[in-house]
Amino acid sequence: MNVPNKLTLIRIFIAFVFMGVLVSGIPLKGVLATLLFAAGCVTDYLDGKIARDRNIVTDFGKLMDPLADKIMISAALITFVQLKDTHVPAWMVVVIIGREFFVTGLRLLAASKGRVIPAGRGGKNKIISQIVAISVILLFLSAKEILTTFFKWDTRVDYYFGFISYILIFIAMVLSVLSGFFYFKKNKNLFIHE
């Protein structure tokens, strides 16, 4: 197995550890989860860079690399719904993950007809907005844990953070829906005579 594929598998493993840490009761779990999410992002960057630099393209990588990204993002968003400090509504997470299922289904349909649907600009904007939203939420959780543990936390900050996290997740959701719509519009001919 080549290095990019190993990094992809590591990212999937990190996603499950990340989720376990966030729902655990260990001290400074938000800080550790933030570091794990950052490590996941670094492996994503590295596996793509190494694959491009060494011209390593495998069927495993084509399938598992985007799947690893979806697992990492989904793990964060689903876990956030469970945590009271994150202010992430379940319905937004369902829309975001539902879009992923829809686009994956569209790609599978295209593959069954011998076509490949490449990632578009809208999909890239969507993933960037999700990473930004998750990173901001994790940084807030980390700051709250550190300040609560070692100093003093001003609870008034919770209100502002709740508003900011809601807006960031909402933006990620809108971009997810829009990119899904454009994928469908561009490839609607796949459904003709189905």
Domain ranges within the chain, ordered by starting residue: 3-191
- Residue 47 is predicted with a pLDDT of 81
Q: How far is CA 106 from CA 61, 71, 85, 96, 126, in A?
A: 19, 18, 35, 16, 17
Tell me the fold of 3-191: Four Helix Bundle (Hemerythrin (Met), subunit A) (1.20.120)
Mean pLDDT, all residues of the chain: 85
Average pLDDT over residues 85-110: 86
pLDDT category at 118 given cuts 50, 70, 90 is low
Whole-structure pTM value:
0.86
pLDDT category at 119 given cuts 50, 70, 90 is low
Judged by DSSP in three states, 6 sits in helix
Distance CA 131, CA 164 (A): 15
More confident residue, 59 or 88: 88
The pLDDT tens digits of the residues spanning 124-135 come to: 888 899 999 999
Average pLDDT over residues 107-122: 71
What percentage of residues in the chain have a pLDDT greater than 90? 36
